[in-house]
Amino acid sequence: MRLVITSDTHLPARARDLPADLWAAIDAADVVVHAGDWVSEAALDALEARAARLIGVYGNNDGPALRARLPEVARVELDGLRMAVVHETGPAAGRERRCAARFPDVDVLVFGHSHIPWDTVAPGGPRLLNPGSPTDRRRQPHATYLTATVTSGALGDVRLHRLG
């Protein structure tokens, strides 16, 4: 199972559209995971139309219309892999401990908000993944997103893609 993991797309505030490389990855993916801050319903509509399967949550910049369509936390099992998706996890300091306590029953936690790519494993807890942002790199050298695979309950081939 091929995954694309993205977050903080901020459309159309930070860009008119997603980068072509990300759209190509979305078109080829079995599952697209979006960790919030869509900003517009048009962005959600576009991903729903093109993704084979979309798992998403709302972020702090998403208004009432998006919050009506998306959960704050999404939980899903993908080929035996237990995943949760949330927008915010708080400050970097202590993140692993907080996330392990809040999500003790998942293998992978996808989050966004910071626009900073993150890949760690919480002691006794989940693997934590933040794809950064494909449209608003903030203080990062590149805009980014992640791809990964899931096979028989195992996450593999996690790759950070740089855009631009």
Hey, where are the domains in the chain? 2-163
Q: Which two tokens stand for residue 161?
A: 């893609």
Per-residue model confidence (pLDDT) at position 41 = 97
| Alpha-helical regions (H) of 19-111 | 20-28, 41-50, 64-69, 95-102
pLDDT value at 15 more than 90: no
Region 2-163: CATH code: 3.60.21.10
pLDDT (tens digit, 9 = 90+) per residue, 95-152? Answer: 999 999 999 999 999 999 999 999 999 988 899 999 999 999 988 999 999 999 999 9
Using pLDDT thresholds of 50, 70 and 90, give the confidence band for residue 93. Answer: very high
> Strands 143-151, 154-163: parallel, antiparallel or unpaired by DSSP?
antiparallel
- Model pTM score: 0.96
User: Of how many residues is the chain composed?
Assistant: 164
Q: Helix 20-28 vs helix 41-50: angle between axes, to the nearest 10 degrees?
A: 50
pLDDT (tens digit, 9 = 90+) per residue, 17-39? Answer: 999 999 999 999 999 999 999 99
Per-residue model confidence (pLDDT) at position 120 = 96
Residue 107 and residue 99 in contact, taking contact as beta carbons nearer than 8 Å: no
Q: What is the mean pLDDT of the chain?
A: 96
Q: Which two tokens stand for residue 75?
A: 């939980």
Per-residue model confidence (pLDDT) at position 14 = 82
Per-residue model confidence (pLDDT) at position 138 = 87
